[in-house]
Amino acid sequence: MQEDLIKASGTPYTIIRSTQFLEFVPTIAAIGTQGNDVYVSDISFQPIAAADVAAFVTEFALEQPTNALKEIAGPEKDDLINFVTAYLKQNDSAKKIIPTDKHEYFGATIAKSALVPEGSAHLGKVAMKEWLSGKII
């Protein structure tokens, strides 16, 4: 509804849609944790680093409005389980991943592909491995 209001306003615009942030992965792991088990939904995931989001917002803000939508996403698309596993491997290796087929994200049921771009997207530069190492350029 917000996008429709912007489009109908007559004001030049560029709308940016972003996938979920890499910075959400620790919270996703924490929410799914019960004892030493971490329950993670079997959904597709293409998270973007907040630093990449900031760079895209800056880039698009300095351009002329396009009166269009620009999608942004991280450079890697994989199952959410694999992102959470990589995070836990580095930060809490005692935890065990338990995949679920509920297709939930923060308690809401979603389509398996709801968190990835539908078509092409501008891709960030920061991969999970770089984000985990803290070596973000």
DSSP string, 103-121: -EETTEE--TTTTS-SS--
CA 107 from chain centre, in angstroms, equals 16
Q: Can you give the pLDDT at residue 92?
A: 76
Question: For the chain, which residues make up each domain, given as ranges?
Answer: 2-133
- Calculate the alpha carbon distances from 45 to 68, 105, 131 in Å: 24, 11, 15
Q: Can you give the pLDDT at residue 119?
A: 87
- Calculate the alpha carbon distances from 25 to 14, 30, 96, 118 in Å: 28, 9, 15, 21
Give the pairing type, strands 68-73 and 14-18: parallel
Query: Residue 3 is inside which H or E element, if any?
Result: helix 2-8
- Does the pTM surpass 0.85? The reply is yes
What band does 136 get if pLDDT is binned at 50, 70 and 90? low
Looking at the predicted structure, is the pLDDT value of residue 135 above 90? Answer: no
Please report, as a single letter, which amino acid is at residue 79: D
In this structure, the number of other CB atoms found within 10 A of the CB of residue 5 comes to 8
What band does 1 get if pLDDT is binned at 50, 70 and 90? very high
Looking at the predicted structure, is the pLDDT value of residue 109 above 80? Answer: yes
Looking at the predicted structure, is the pLDDT value of residue 40 above 60? Answer: yes
Q: Average pLDDT over the chain, rounded to whole?
A: 94
Rg (CA), the chain: 17
Q: Can you give the pLDDT at residue 44?
A: 96
C-alpha 105/C-alpha 16 separation (Å) is 21
